[in-house]
Amino acid sequence: MSQKIRNALISVSDKRNLKNLLYVLKKLKVNIISSGGTYKYITSMGFKCKEVSKFTDFEPMLDGRVKTLHPKIHSGILFNRKNKKHKMEMVKEDFQPIDLVIVNFYPFKETLKKTDNISKIIENIDIGGPTMVRGAAKNSDDVVVLTDTEDYIVLINELKKNNGRTSLNFRRKMAGKAFGLTAYYDSLISNWYNEKLGIKFPEKITFFGKKINQLRYGENPHQKSSLYLNNLRDNELDLQQLNGKDLSYNNYNDIFAGLDILFSNKKFPCTVIIKHANPCGVSTNKSSFQSFINAQASDPISAFGGVVACNFTINKKIALEINKTFFEVILAKGFEKKALSMLKKKKNMRIIDISKVSLKPKILAKFFEKSILVQEKDQIIFDKKKLKFVTKNKPSRKELKDIEFAFNVCKYVKSNAIVIVKDSSTIGIGAGQQNRLDSCKIAAQKAKQFQPKKLYNSIAASDAFFPFADGMNNLIRAGIKTIVQPGGSIRDKEVIEAANKAGIKMILTGIRHFNH
Work out whether strand 210-215 and strand 225-229 pair parallel, antiparallel, or are unpaired: antiparallel
Work out whether strand 505-508 and strand 480-485 pair parallel, antiparallel, or are unpaired: parallel
Q: Whole-angstrom Cα distance, residue 58 to residue 400?
A: 73
CB distance 179 to 134 below 8 Å: yes
CB distance 510 to 464 below 8 Å: no
Q: Whole-angstrom Cα distance, residue 23 to residue 69?
A: 28
Q: Collect all residues with Cβ–Cβ distance below 8 Å to 176 and sequence separation of at least 6.
A: 137
448 is catalytic: no
Q: Say which DSSP state 248 is in.
A: P
From residue 239, give the alpha-carbon distance in Å to each of 12, 123, 358, 472.
Answer: 30, 32, 10, 41
138 is catalytic: yes
Q: Whole-angstrom Cα distance, residue 394 to residue 506?
A: 8
| CA-based max dimension of the chain | 96
Cβ-based burial of 85 (10 A; exposed 0-12, middle 13-18, buried ≥19): exposed
> Is the Cα torsion angle 212, 214, 215, 217 positive or negative in sign?
positive
Q: How far apart are the first and last CA of the chain?
A: 52
Q: Of residues 276, 344, 401, 448, which has the active-site annotation?
A: 276
Q: Whole-angstrom Cα distance, residue 397 to residue 175?
A: 64
Q: Whole-angstrom Cα distance, residue 388 to residue 383?
A: 10
Q: Collect all residues with Cβ–Cβ distance below 8 Å to 172 and sequence separation of at least 6.
A: 140
Q: Say which DSSP state 247 is in.
A: P
Work out whether strand 307-310 and strand 329-332 pair parallel, antiparallel, or are unpaired: parallel
CB distance 444 to 428 below 8 Å: yes
Q: Collect all residues with Cβ–Cβ distance below 8 Å to 118 and sequence separation of at least 6.
A: 196
Q: Of residues 15, 19, 138, 344, which has the active-site annotation?
A: 138
Residues designated catalytic: 138, 276
